[in-house]
Structure 1
Amino acid sequence: MRGTRSATRSRSAVWVCKGADLLRDVRPTLDEEERVSEATDAIIAQVREMLPDLARDAAAVEINGAVDARVVERLGEIGFFRMLRPQRYGGFEADPVSFFRAVRLLSRSCPATGWIASVLGGHEWHLSLFDDRALAEVWGADPHALLASSYTPDGQLTPTDGGYRLSGRWRTSTGIHHASWAVLGALLLDGNGEPVDFVGALVPAADYRIEERWDPTGLRAVAADGVVVENAFVPSYRTFGARERMLQEDPAWAANVAPLHRMPYSVIHTHAVAVPVIGAAEGAYDALLADHPAAATVPSVARAATDLHVAWRQLTGHLERLLERAERNEPPDTESAIRARRDQSLAAERAVRAIGTFLDAAGPEAWERRHPLQRAWRDAQVAATNAANSVDQTLSIFGRWAYGLDVGDRWW
C-alpha cells in the first residue's frame, strides 16, 4: 500500500515542480472573487426565471425529440455556457459548484435541457486544457461557439506532417446539433498501426457529418446523434491525450493559471453527467408531492429524498476540497479524486433508485405518458448508462486503491 501511494505522490511532485513558476500565486484577488460571484449569482437568478417555461414545455420537448434551439441560445445569452470558460476568452472562471447548481436547477424542470446544458457547459472547461492555439481558433473566431463530444475511442489518429489524420464513426454525441466543434475520442496509432495513446481530437463542424440515429426510451430530446469523420486533418495542438489528462504535461498551464483549470479531468467531466440525474430525481419528488402531498411522510419516500440531499452534499464537498487544493497550488491527490469519482457514480445510482421509490408511492397514474414522474424515470435510466456513471467501475477502482493495489491512471 505504501509503495503505491508513494508513487502517486511522486507524480504529484513532478506536477508541482513543472508548474511552480507559472502557478506561484493563483488565488484570485478579492475584487475578482466579488466580480465572479456577482456574475454567477446573476446567471443562476436568470436560470431560475427560465424554469417555469422549461417545466411547462418538457413533455412537448420530448415529443419533438429536441431541446428548442432558442433555449440553448438563451442559456448562451445569460452567460451560462461561459461559467467555466477562461476569463481571457470572455468567461467567468466560476467555481464548479455554482455551475453544477445551475445544472441541477435546469434538470429539475427538464432533465434533457439540464443534460445538454451540463455537457455543453462542461466542454468549455475541457477546451481550456488544450493548447492555447486551439482556444483562439474556437473562441477567437466565434465567442459564442459551443462544443459537442463523444469520448468513446471510436476513431483512429494516424501521424502526418504537422498533426494527424482522423477517421471514425461515433454512435452518440450530446449537443451535436447545437455545436460548431466536437471533441472526439480516438486511439493514436504509431507507425506500425499500434495504439499508443487515447486522445481527444478537436474538429470543426466542416470536418464531420451527423448521422441521425438517436432513438432511446429516455432523454429523447437530447438528440445525441452520431458523428462521422473521414480522413480529416487535425493539427497536433488540437489534440489532448492521456498524459495531459494526468495533469503532468498540461499544455494550457502557460495561459490558464486559475485554480479551476487544474481540477481533475475525471471529476469535472463525470459530474457533468451525474448532476442532471440528481436534478431529474428532485423534479420527480416535486411531481410526487404536487399530486400527493402526504407522500412526504412515507418513510421510503423520506429516505429517498434524504439520499438525494446527501448525494448532493457529497458531490459539492468533494468539489470544494479539490478546488481548495488547487487554490493552494497543490495537485489533486489520489484519495480525493477517487472518492469524488466513487460518490459521483453512487449519486447517480441513488437518484435513479429514488425516482423508482417516488413512482411506487404515486400509484398507477404516474405511469401515464403525460406524467412527469415516468418521464423522469426514463430519462434517469438512460442517463445512468453513461460510462461515467458506472458504479461497478468506480467501486472497483476505489476498492483497489483502498487495498493498496495499483489503480494505474484510470482514476484520472
Structure 2
Amino acid sequence: MADVGRKSTLDYSVGQEVDDRAYAAMLARTRALIPQLRDRAARTEEIRRLPPETERDLHEAGLFRVVQPKRVGGSEFDYVALVDCAELLGKGDASVAWNFANLASHHWMLAMFDKRAQDLVWDKDPNTLVASSFIFPAGRARKVEGGFRLHGSWPFSSGVASSEWNMLGSVVDSDDEADGIEYRIFLVPKKDYRILDTWNAAGLRGTGSNDVEVRDAFVAESLTVSVSDLAGGPTPGSAINPNPLYTLPVFSLFPYVLSGVALGNAQACLDDYVEIAHHRASTYNRAKLGDLQSTQIKIAEASAKIDAARLIMRSNCIEAMAAARRGQIPDMAVKTRLRRDGAYSVNLCTEAVSLLFAASGARGLFTSGALQRQFRDAHAINSHIAFNFDAAGTNYGRVALGLPSENVTL
C-alpha cells in the first residue's frame, strides 16, 4: 500500500544542489532494496549484524558513499541524503538503516580530517568502511612526539565487524589545567583495536554494535581531529574538499545522521497497520477494523506525528546546508535548536509506533510479524543519547535563558 497521506518519497529535490536525476536514481535504488531487507530481517536479527548479501547490496547501490567527496568517487550529495536514504532503508529494516547511516556518515567526517588521513584510507580502497564510538569519556589519550598514545574501551561501535577502521572519541589528558579538557577523535586501524562480542540487545539487534578495546596504541597526529575543529566552518580537510557540506557543524547535526532510521521504521509500521486494518475484521465481533472510528483516529494521529517528524528533520538539514553555502557558522542558539529538534522528531516517531502497537492488540505480539520488531527497534533508537529530549531540551533551555551550553561537543 502507498504511504498514507503524502506524496511518494521520491520527491526529494528541494534544497538539493546536485543533479536531481542522480539523486532520484539513488533513491530509486534504495527503495528497490526494501522488500529483500524485510525478507532478511529475521536473519539479520539472528546473526546480530548485517548479512554479507545486505552489505554487498548497500555497496553496489552506492549507499555507503552518498556523502563521500566526488574526488574519490563518492556522490557528495547534500546532508539531507542521510535522512532520506535512512528513511527508505528503515522501511525495510531499521538495523540495516542504522548501519548504513553510521557508516556513510563516517565518509563525510573523514573528509574533514587531514588529507593524509583521507589518503591512507581512500587511496587503498574508497569503499572501505569506518566504524565509530563517540563516547569520549571511554578513552584516554596523552600527547607524545608525533601524535598520541590512546587507551580505552568503547561501547556501541555499530557495524564494527564490517569495518577496517574506527573513529574513537577520547578525552586528551593534559598536565596543564589551564588547557582545559580537549575532546579529540582518533582514526584507528583494525589491527590496533579488539572487538568484544557484547551486542545482545532487545532492539536494533542486527547492528552488531559491539564494544572495542584499545590498549596503548600510537595514533599519528594527522589521524586525529579535535572536536573544536568540527564545530562549523573550515576544517582540516577543507583545502581539498571545498564543498560546504564539509563545513557543517558535526555534533550539532549529529541527531540527523540517525533520525531517518526512526522515520522509516515508523512509516513502515503505519503502512503495515493501514494494510492490516483495511482487510482485517475484529476477532471478537467480526467488525471490519477499517470501519471503526478508533482505527481511523489512530491512523490520523500516527501519520501526523510521522509527517511532522519528517518535516522537522528534512527542513533542518536543508537549512543547515543553505547556511553553510552562505558561509554562515551557526551560533549556540541554532546549534542547541538543532539538537532539540533532532530529539523531538525522533520522539514523535517513537510515539507513533507505540500508539500503533497498542492499537494492534494481541496480534502485534507474534514474533512472526514485523510489528514487534518495529516496536523494539523504535525504542532502541530512542534510547540513543542524541534523542534524549530531557538532555537536548535542558541544554536548549539553558542557552535560551542566557546560560552556557553544557554540551561540550557543540
Q: Is this a same-fold pair by TM over 0.5?
A: yes
Question: 1:43 touches 1:78 (CA, 8 Å); kept in 2?
Answer: yes
Question: Partner residue of 2:20?
Answer: 37
| Distance verdict in 2 for CA 1:195–1:328, change over 3 Å | closer
Q: CA deviation at 1:248?
A: 6.1
Name which of 165, 184, 188 aligns with 1:203: 188
**For residues 216-295 of structure 1, what are the structure 2 equivalents within 5 Å?**
216-247=201-232, 250-293=235-278, 294=290
Q: CA deviation at 1:267?
A: 3.9
| Distance verdict in 2 for CA 1:190–1:333, change over 3 Å | closer
Q: TM-score, normalised by structure 2?
A: 0.88
Higher deviation after alignment, 301-310 or 112-121: 301-310
Name stretches of at least 5 consecutive residues in structure 2 with no aligned partner.
1-15, 279-289
Question: Partner residue of 1:135?
Answer: 118
Once residues 192 and 211 of structure 1 are traced to their aligned partners in structure 2, the CA distance between those partners, rounded to angstroms, is 34
> Does residue 149 of structure 2 align to residue 189 of structure 1?
no
| Distance verdict in 2 for CA 1:411–1:306, change over 3 Å | farther
Question: 2:350 touches 2:382 (CA, 8 Å); kept in 1?
Answer: yes
Once residues 101 and 176 of structure 1 are traced to their aligned partners in structure 2, the CA distance between those partners, rounded to angstroms, is 23
| Distance verdict in 2 for CA 1:382–1:277, change over 3 Å | same
Once residues 78 and 28 of structure 2 are traced to their aligned partners in structure 1, the CA distance between those partners, rounded to angstroms, is 16
Question: Partner residue of 2:345?
Answer: 347
| Distance verdict in 2 for CA 1:267–1:247, change over 3 Å | closer
Name stretches of at least 5 consecutive residues in structure 1 with no aligned partner.
1-31
Q: CA deviation at 1:270?
A: 1.8
Question: 1:69 touches 1:178 (CA, 8 Å); kept in 2?
Answer: no
Name which of 87, 93, 114 aligns with 1:104: 87
Comparing both chains, which one has the higher relative contact order based on Cα–Cα distances under 8 Å and sequence gaps of 6 or more? 1
- Structure with the bigger percentage of helix: 1
Q: CA deviation at 1:117?
A: 0.5
- CA deviations 1:358-397 (Å, max 9, x no partner) are 0111110101111211111111111111111111111011
> Does residue 169 of structure 2 align to residue 169 of structure 1?
no
> Does residue 97 of structure 2 align to residue 114 of structure 1?
yes
Question: Partner residue of 1:148?
Answer: 131
- CA deviations 1:310-346 (Å, max 9, x no partner) are 1110111111111111112222243333222111101
Once residues 330 and 265 of structure 1 are traced to their aligned partners in structure 2, the CA distance between those partners, rounded to angstroms, is 14
- CA deviations 1:99-141 (Å, max 9, x no partner) are 3211100001111101111111111111111111111111111
Once residues 406 and 276 of structure 2 are traced to their aligned partners in structure 1, the CA distance between those partners, rounded to angstroms, is 49
Q: TM-score, normalised by structure 1?
A: 0.87
Amino acid corresponding to residue 143 of structure 1 in structure 2: P
| Distance verdict in 2 for CA 1:411–1:299, change over 3 Å | farther
Question: 1:246 touches 1:409 (CA, 8 Å); kept in 2?
Answer: no
> Does residue 30 of structure 2 align to residue 47 of structure 1?
yes
Once residues 102 and 168 of structure 1 are traced to their aligned partners in structure 2, the CA distance between those partners, rounded to angstroms, is 33
Q: CA deviation at 1:273?
A: 2.2
Amino acid corresponding to residue 257 of structure 1 in structure 2: P
| Distance verdict in 2 for CA 1:222–1:366, change over 3 Å | same
Question: Partner residue of 2:367?
Answer: 369
Question: 1:301 touches 1:357 (CA, 8 Å); kept in 2?
Answer: no
Question: 2:83 touches 2:259 (CA, 8 Å); kept in 1?
Answer: no
| Distance verdict in 2 for CA 1:410–1:165, change over 3 Å | closer
Question: Partner residue of 1:336?
Answer: 334
SS of residue paired to 2:339 = helix
